[in-house]
Amino acid sequence: MIEVRIELADRSYPVLIGAGARHRLVEVLPGGVERVAVVTQSSIGATVDVDVPSRTFVIEQGEQAKSLATVEELCREFSQMGLTRHDCVVAVGGGMVTDLAGFAAAIYHRGTPVVHVSTTLLGQVDAAIGGKTGANLPEGKNLVGAFWQPAAVLCDTELLVALPPREYRSGTGEMAKYHFLGDRVGMPDVALEDLPLDERVAYCVELKGRVVGADEREGGLRNILNYGHTLGHALEIAGGFDLRHGEAVAIGLHFAALLAEHLGRIDADRVEEHRRVLSFYELPQELPAGSDLDALVALMGRDKKAIGGLRFALDGPRGVEVVDVDASDVEAVLRAMADRSVAAEEEP
């Protein structure tokens, strides 16, 4: 079992990574807890054991259930079981469950501890780490939420074998971005591809932990975690492409590398390194056929992390950093990328 500590300004918490990590729950529950509310989904086979009375609440699948109505339902159920601020919520699931249960915990009795037992690859390297929780509104995804750091996180890599293959691949898209972010936070220079899965997950957790520790509330550095996400989000919103989040991010990473090369920030070898990592994970790299480039540029300009103009996390001599880019450069690189995708498709 690998233990990574996330160091925040005023406290720290453990993340345990490895096969069977879920069985360590009792050890990481806050002291004095008298009841536990477990939140999970029916498709998640994982059960957890606790040594105090507990109730399990099963939430629906899919983003439409990631709603304030579900949060209210959970809080009412917590109340009915007599949960107090001195007890604990335990989220067992992927990002959807940890986001929702984390948000319910953040507001229940003005803040009740939560432990995340993360069961998806995307959850383990991203959603369960860093304290962002939330729900969707009909107007958009993750528009309400709170920063609420967990008391501990358990990343049980044994559960990943049961993941539907596309969910696993979506997680690798998120993992791919971490291959390029280590420099900024002084991570040791390692060939991530050569590490066993649990060590690779631990590297991503440690890296995200360092970024979050330095910027808990997304004031600056945390934006580098958005690497590959500007085009990724635009592809997801433009829709109709049947892309999972991590797959869209993978295409976004390739685009970000090409844009950085176009701007003279990185050389062709570094672009090739991006392609090599994406191939290693068998992720898509090129724009989906039929992409409406004008629509993508318009959507990128609207990305909630862009404050005026087009903002990208881009690789460069000082590592990945957030830079403003002219729309004309973005369009030129997107167009060249689209031409390449078409050419690639026409090859026999």
Ligand X SMILES: NC(=O)c1ccc[n+]([C@@H]2O[C@H](COP(=O)([O-])OP(=O)(O)OC[C@H]3O[C@@H](n4cnc5c(N)ncnc54)[C@H](O)[C@@H]3O)[C@@H](O)[C@H]2O)c1
Binding site for ligand X (CB under 6 A): 41, 43-44, 61, 66, 93-97, 99, 119-120, 122-123, 126-127, 130, 132, 141-142, 159, 162-163, 167, 170
Would residue 254 show up in a list of annotated catalytic residues for this protein?
no
Q: Is 222 a catalytic residue?
A: yes
What the block records as the tokens of 219 is 């004031």
Report, in Å, the least distance between residue 164 CB and ligand X: 6
Residue 93 host element (H or E): strand 88-93
State the amino acid at position 114 in one-letter form.
V
CB of 211 to ligand X, least distance (A): 11
- Tell me whether residue 59 is exposed, middle or buried, using C-beta atoms within 10 angstroms of its C-beta: 0 to 12, 13 to 18, 19 or more: buried
Could you tell me if 165 and 25 are in contact, meaning their C-beta atoms sit under 8 angstroms apart? no
**233 is a catalytic site residue:** yes
Write out the two tokens for 329. Answer: 């450069």
**Catalytic residue flag (residue 174):** yes
Q: Active-site residue among 22, 66, 132, 184? A: 132
24 a catalytic residue: no
Give catalytic status of residue 282 as yes or no. no
The one catalytic residue in 169, 208, 244, 311 is: 208
Catalytic residue among 22, 179, 184, 245: 245
Do β-strands 36-41 and 88-93 pair in parallel, antiparallel, or remain unpaired? parallel
Output the residue with the shortest Cβ distance to ligand X: 95
Q: How far is the CB of 203 from ligand X (least distance, A)?
A: 17
Structure tokens at 156: 């049980």
Our CB check for ligand X shows the closer of 83 and 175 to be 175
Kindly give the residue spans of alpha helices, DSSP state H, lying in the chain: 25-28, 68-80, 95-107, 121-122, 165-178, 197-214, 229-238, 245-262, 268-280, 293-302, 327-346
245 catalytically annotated: yes
- Give me the phi and psi of 155, to 5 degrees please: -105, 95
Annotated catalytic residue 142: no
Q: How far is the CB of 341 from ligand X (least distance, A)?
A: 25
Nearer to ligand X, 137 or 342 (CB): 137
Question: Would you list the DSSP string of 249-268?
Answer: HHHHHHHHHHHHHHTTSS-H
Rounded to an integer, what distance in angstroms lies between the CA atom of residue 117 and that of residue 134? 17
Among 174, 206, 247, 321, the one annotated catalytic: 174
**CB-based contact 320:180 (threshold 8 Å):** yes
Minimal distance in Å, beta carbon 307 to ligand X? 20
Q: List active site positions.
A: 110, 132, 174, 208, 218, 222, 226, 229, 233, 245
